Amino acid sequence: MAPKFTIITLFVFGSLALSAQFANPTEPVYSAISEAAEVDNATQLNLRDLQLFQLDDSAEELKNLTFLNLMKNNMESWDKSIFTLTNLQTLNVKENSLKAIPKEIENLKKLEALDIAKNKVPEIPKEMGELQSLRLLHASFNNVVYISPALGTCEQLQVIDLSHNQLSAIPAEFSSLKNLKTLQLGYNQFREFKGDWCNISSLEDLDLNHNYLRNFPGEVKKLKSLKALNLSNNELTELPEELCKLKDLEQLILSENALTELPRNIGRLKNLRTLIAVGNNFSESEKTRIKEALPGCTVILD
């Protein structure tokens, strides 16, 4: 396998990803629990980067909170008061030292965005399936080895980022996520991408870079909405012809694999705007064929 290096991709999480870090600009944002407690209807509390280990007991009084940012603190366990804030829509606990997602997470029924990136979480538990309003789950840079199938019942999910974990499989139940548009699975331990995972027909961005994939299923043709596909830094030796049926595909990244050729009908990808496939084993004649087949596409092979 060729040496791995990082490819800068063009994937965009959109406004959903930003919602986990930034408050609603039309409403006041308080920077201390005591400050928020002085008003009747405080909805937004930003406690980012305050070296907190836990919250004051008075946090439980903030029943109207919809936004809580606890990013970059020193929390090793979840403060129980968080789970009494049942109106929360956005919860950001990124960059702490949390070791699990407790079962009490199920209390936050109105949660739409959860950012638990850069912690020490080993699994996505079954209680996450109770969050039926969840649209964004950002859980990259953890130690996740297991995802409960119950997450597949969260049908409002649009963005899932599980990159930089220890995953080797995702539940077949993900095929029920009919609104999922972005699935980030880069830097994991995947050795195969099963065909039944291709039933997520709404998917637009799929990132599997830096895994150990040796083949990719022909069922990929079912991902009819796919616009961006990143398979760089894997162990692929070939790609299925069915890939050429992805009529909406705009970006395809295949760098650092062991490919000697691309599908013969690659020219059918009429909407493809960017193809990056450096670090493969293409002959000069194959490089010429690829470029001629994609005249309206930026093709980078060297």
- Do the strands 44-46 and 67-69 form a parallel or antiparallel pair, or are they unpaired? parallel
pTM: 0.93
pLDDT at residue 9, as a whole number:
43
Q: What residues are paired with 90 via a beta bridge?
A: 67, 113
Alpha-carbon distance of 179 to 258, in angstroms, equals 33
pLDDT at residue 21, as a whole number:
63
Whether residue 73 contacts residue 97, with contact meaning beta carbons closer than 8 Å, is answered with no
Q: How far is CA 109 from the centre of its chain?
A: 21
In this prediction, residue 196 has a pLDDT band, given cuts at 50, 70 and 90, of confident
The per-residue pLDDT for range 222-238, each reduced to its tens digit, is 999 999 999 999 999 99
Give the chain's domains with CATH numbers: 190-301 (3.80.10.10)
Taking residue 202's Cβ as centre, other Cβ atoms within 10 Å add up to: 14
pLDDT at residue 23, as a whole number:
76
Per-residue 3-state assignment (H helix, E strand, C coil) for 55-91: CCHHHHHCCCCCEEECCCCCCCCCCHHHHHCCCCCEE
pLDDT at residue 20, as a whole number:
60
More confident residue, 13 or 184: 184
Take residue 81 and report the two structure tokens written for it: 């008061």
Mean pLDDT of the chain: 93
pLDDT at residue 182, as a whole number:
98
The per-residue pLDDT for range 155-192, each reduced to its tens digit, is 999 999 999 999 999 999 999 999 999 999 999 999 99
Q: Give Cβ neighbours of residue 270 (< 8 Å, ≥ 6 apart).
A: 247, 296
Residue closest to 211 by CA, chosen among 238, 237, 234: 234
| Strand extents, DSSP E, 48-181 | 67-69, 90-92, 113-115, 123-124, 136-138, 146-147, 159-161
